[in-house]
Chain A
Amino acid sequence: MIDHYAVNKFLYDTDRNEGFVQRYIDDPSSYVDWWLDERGSRLLDNESERSAVVGLDDDTRRALVDYDFVTLYREGAHPFILWTLMLPVIEHKLAAGEWDVSEAGGDAREENKKPMAYYREHIGEYGRPDFRY
């Protein structure tokens, strides 16, 4: 079971900072470790203070490093912030030819259709997990 707050905090804190998104794309392993050490337990609105919360078990850390959004989705990460961070990740992977998607339909800006289809293809079978925790 993932620590919902920790995962959501990672997604939120990373997605709202352009430099963090780029680092997560460039080197996920180093970025996730850095984030856990430096950001995980730091208060979001007071960077000089820490709280008692926020650590990730090995499985959750691996899921973040591997961009394993399917596991995170299934376990109840918040779908909105999961999607918004995974969008640039998936865009990058598709552009690099590391991931592939067969169809690209839907109601979206042209640039977003393929990543959206990729995301949907992979989480589709899990329906709508309850993201309350």
Chain B
Amino acid sequence: MAELVSLIGSTHHPWYYAKTSRPESELSEDGRDLREWSAKVQASIQKAQPDAIIILASDHFHQFFHNNMPQFIIGRMQSYQGTFSNEVREFNLPRVELGGNRALSTDLIEGGFEHGFDFAFSDEMRLDHACVVPSLIAQPSLDIPVVPVLTNCGAPPIPPSRRFVQLGEVLRKTIESTNTVQRVAVIASGNLSLEVGGPEQMMPYPVDPEFDEDAVKWIRARDFERLTHEATFERMMTHGNTTFQFLNLLSMAALQGDLTCVLGEASKRRGSSKPCFIYEQEVQG
């Protein structure tokens, strides 16, 4: 039976690569801060030694659209191509290839049936920056295979917040019942208050710093009553029109189990606050 050995909650800030891939002397404050975040995540992942990383993220209308929109879908490939042409154009994000683990994907899908979650699946999936950026942050060498679990956080009707809590619970149970691998990490890719294509897009301040602080507190306290109450479509819209990817962090909180939260904060940036969560196993002895 596998165990969940590492849990990360991270930004997928699309300019991560553009901001960090330059000489030390040319880094902006934000670039330096993002590099520090990457170093912390890398250290935690290296300590945990996972056989596979499940990435819980949301496609941004790159592969999926309203003609056929899955609410929760698991990639089931042995390798994944990542980054779309308009992300190269807009973000200068590199095209990448990530290994997969098809057997583990199938285990998660079948485990979902057992626990009341009928995942859609895709045997032909390409990953966008929601998966690519956290992978570059956590493992720049991209050696560890991944299993993408994509959630609909962009195309209403979006599943209600309680489903994201259940998703976390179901993923933990399915991870703990697979024999395909021994050690699993999960990276939840999301954001706090955020606006894209709206009046406060990419302003030099967070859309709603008060929400960002509160949200981190509720997650750390695993206050699911408050979290599900606050994370309705209408309420999230008041914090920015793209805040919905906060829902992936509810799944993360529900995955915590006996892991210890060693870092949980809304890191201030020049723009939107970024979620920084690292959960690790208790050191024995």
CB of B60 within 8 A of CB of A80, answer yes
CB of A79 within 8 A of CB of B65, answer no
Least CB distance from A87 to B in Å reads 6
Q: Contacts A5-B66, A12-B61, A45-B68 hold; do A124 and B86 have CB atoms under 8 A apart?
A: no
- Does B285 touch A at the CB level, under 8 Å? no
By the criterion of a CB under 8 Å from any partner CB, how many residues of chain A are at the interface?
38
Least CB distance from B155 to A in Å reads 8
A45 to B201 CA separation, bound complex (whole angstroms): 32
Task: Encode contact with B along A100-133: 1 for CB under 8 Å, 0 otherwise.
Answer: 0000011111001000100110011011101110
CB of B66 within 8 A of CB of A116, answer no
| Chain B residues, CB < 8 A from A73 | 197
- Does B116 touch A at the CB level, under 8 Å? no
- Does A18 touch B at the CB level, under 8 Å? yes
Q: Contacts A106-B204, A108-B15, A128-B241 hold; do A44 and B65 have CB atoms under 8 A apart?
A: yes
A45 to B241 CA separation, bound complex (whole angstroms): 28
CB of B86 within 8 A of CB of A9, answer no
A45 to B122 CA separation, bound complex (whole angstroms): 14
Q: Is the interface of B mostly helix, strand, loop or mixed?
A: loop
Least CB distance from A60 to B in Å reads 17
CB of A83 within 8 A of CB of B204, answer no
Least CB distance from A17 to B in Å reads 8
CB-based nearest A residue for B270: A107
Least CB distance from B242 to A in Å reads 7
CB of B199 within 8 A of CB of A123, answer yes
A67 to B16 CA separation, bound complex (whole angstroms): 30
CB of A132 within 8 A of CB of B67, answer no
CB of A8 within 8 A of CB of B66, answer yes
Residues of A at under 8 Å CB distance from B? 5, 8-9, 12, 15-16, 18, 21, 43-45, 73, 78-84, 87-88, 105-109, 112, 116, 119-120, 123-124, 126-128, 130-132
Pairs across A and B, CB under 8 Å, 30 listed: A9-B66, A12-B61, A12-B65, A16-B62, A16-B85, A18-B85, A18-B89, A44-B67, A78-B61, A79-B197, A79-B198, A80-B241, A80-B242, A81-B197, A83-B196, A84-B86, A84-B90, A84-B197, A105-B203, A106-B201, A109-B15, A109-B92, A112-B90, A112-B202, A116-B202, A123-B199, A126-B199, A127-B199, A128-B241, A132-B156
Residues of B at under 8 Å CB distance from A? 15, 18-19, 30, 60-62, 65-68, 84-86, 89-92, 154-157, 196-204, 233, 237, 241-242, 269-272
3 closest residue pairs by CB, A with B: A107-B271, A83-B197, A79-B197
A9-B66, A116-B201 known; 12 other A-B pairs, CB under 8 Å?
A8-B65, A12-B65, A15-B86, A16-B85, A44-B65, A44-B68, A80-B197, A106-B203, A107-B30, A109-B19, A120-B200, A131-B156
